[in-house]
Structure 1
Amino acid sequence: MNEMLDTLLNHRSYRKYRPDPVEPEKLEQLLSAAQAMPSWVNGQQVTIISVQDPERRERIAALSGNQRHVAEAPVFLVFCMDFYRAKLASEMEGQPFESAKDVDALLVGAADAGIALAGAAMAAESLGLGIIPIGGIRRNTAEVIRLLELPEYVFPVAGLCIGYPDETLPKKPRLPLAAVYHEETYNRDQRGYIEAYNAEHRRYTAEAGQTVRDWSAVIAHFYALNPRYGDALLTLKQQGFGSEPEE
């Protein structure tokens, strides 16, 4: 196994961090890795905002569902899908900018942001840092947009805590490969895989000192409580997505 695969296969999501700062050179390296990731038509539809000010991190932690690790990690990165530059490019070339009204723009932007986040996460772990992605950044996007002064056609997709871990965690098991890798066509016979994974999940939560629960129970509970996770339905329109182009 090579070093990159070893890093990938030994991923952990850390929620406790030492107060040690992240060295500027390491932050630059992982940001460069994120920027090196592929994007649709090389449009580079991603902007990454680094939040290191303690008061601003505290505010984002509260907006993200009171997640203390957001405030305690020395660096918090916000990955945004960004079509603001595409709009400027269109203006520079005298072309109309209409793509934002198409739902495909949301798929492109979210995918590009996710790919960039994965690159940053892999680079951070290879440098001895710990990370945890934060979807809670989408709970109160209107406030996040104001706090980060995001222009039109820019939207926060996910966050990433970065720092030196202050805890030791067992490796969290994943679903069987056969559950997520299908050959030629989709395999709908998933119940057996879920039942097998429930047993693995119970063992993991017991080892980690957590409440012992089935994975299916955790997922069912989350999606029952979250028919609408945040305010994105409104703020996406506010930022120019899904709206009709200007006359």
Structure 2
Amino acid sequence: MTYAPHVSEFPLQDRLQPLWHGRYRNGSPPAADWNETIETMLSHRTVRRYLPQGLPDGALELAISTAQSAPSSSNLQAWDVIVVEDADLKSRLNALAGNQRQIEEAPVLLVWLADLSRLRTAAAERGIPSFGLDYLESFLIGAIDASLAAQNALVAFEALGLGTCYIGALRNHPQAVAIELGLPPEVVAVFGMTVGVPNSRAASAVKPRLPQRVVLHRERYTTADPADLKAYNETLRGFQAEQRMPAIDWTEQAAKRISSTEALRNRDQLRQELTGLGFKLR
């Protein structure tokens, strides 16, 4: 199949100003040189509805090449990705992730892995000890490398006109996911990512984020002004009304998400799950 991303007839600057407003709902964009890459990134929105068609030829391989172009700690490249297209396997993984519509509809589910196994094997083949892999730092290297790679791929997919959605719920049952995917010891699914052609009839708008002054610090950390969080609550309420979504303040939603172990959806057991997968985590 052939596929070409949508190209707008409007000038770049005319396209970027509404995106800035959509992301913050106030203020003016900086007087900087903008380009199509920034446009793609500011246009990001989670896609949960997909058309029943596969990915364009070569799109997956191109995106993975951008993933491998992401920074990697000490060039250890402690990550992998598994492409899941088989309907039965995808359905079983979806059950472990809580049966999400986006996983059901998307033609492809990518499972991004933190992988210390390959490094352990490489050291053993050289007769070199690998004690450093026994520490939490090494697990973090794998998880961070996978995250950086995945985000590069996400931008590439979206630049091609495809839609994506991260699936953190694969961490709900890491050992069961590992069994389904045949993972060796010291390899774990950090998250999933659905990819497909978006269903334009169910397109969502750009979701507003916290004001930059809340997350951007200069020289030293500064505590967020409660007035800024209150203003963001109001901004998000406006977005929810536009999108016909249930109304809830961001501060309330965030608080509920961290309110109890039940809210973690079995991820309070993550350390035990990881040790069960062979990670030492010293």
TM-score (norm 2): 0.83
Which of 223, 227, 250 does residue 188 from structure 1 map onto? 223
Q: Per-residue deviation at 1:227? A: 4.9
SS in structure 1 opposite 2:189? strand
Q: Which moved more, 1:89-98 or 1:120-129?
A: 89-98
Report percent identity of matched pairs.
35
- Greater shift in the superposed pair: 144-153 or 19-28: 19-28
Q: Which runs of 5 or more structure 1 residues have no equivalent in the other structure?
A: none
- Contact kept, 8 Å, 1:19 with 1:73, in 2: the verdict is yes
- Number of paired residues? 244
CA distance in 2, matches of 1:146, 1:126: 34
Map of 2:271 onto structure 1: 233
Alignment of 1:1-247 (within 5 A): 1-166=34-199, 167-225=202-260, 226-227=263-264, 229-230=266-267, 231-242=269-280
Deviation >4 Å, runs of 4+? none
Give the aligned residue type for 1:196: A
Correspondence for 2:9: none
Q: Helix, strand or coil: the match of 2:70?
A: coil
Q: Residues of 1 paired with 2:223 and 2:119: CA distance? A: 39
On the 8 A contact 1:73/1:162 being kept in 2, the answer is yes
Structure 2 residue runs without a partner (length 5+) = 1-33
8 Å CA contact 1:135–1:159 kept in 2: the answer is yes
Question: Which amino acid letter does the alignment assign opposite residue 58 of structure 2?
Answer: E
Report deviation, 1:23. Answer: 2.1
The structure having more radius of gyration, on CA atoms, is 2
Distance 2:57 2:258 in 1: 39
- Counterpart AA for 1:242: K
Q: Give the Cα–Cα distance (whole angstroms) in 1 for the partners of residues 243 and 281 of structure 2.
A: 46
The secondary structure found in structure 1 opposite 2:246 is coil
Q: Are residues 7 and 227 of structure 1, via their aligned partners in 2, closer, same or farther at CA, if it must alter by over 3 Å?
A: closer
| Counterpart secondary structure, 2:233 | helix
How much has 1:228 moved relative to structure 2? 6.4
Cα RMSD (Å): 1.4
Distance in 2 between the 1:175 and 1:154 partners?
A: 34
Between 185-194 and 64-73, report the one with greater CA deviation: 185-194
The CA deviation at 1:158 is 0.9
In 1, the alpha carbon distance for the partners of 2:113 and 2:237 equals 35
SS in 2 for 1:79: strand
Deviations 1:85-134 (A, max 9, x none): 11111012111111232111122111111101101100000001000111
Separation of aligned partners in 2, 1:24 and 1:100: 38
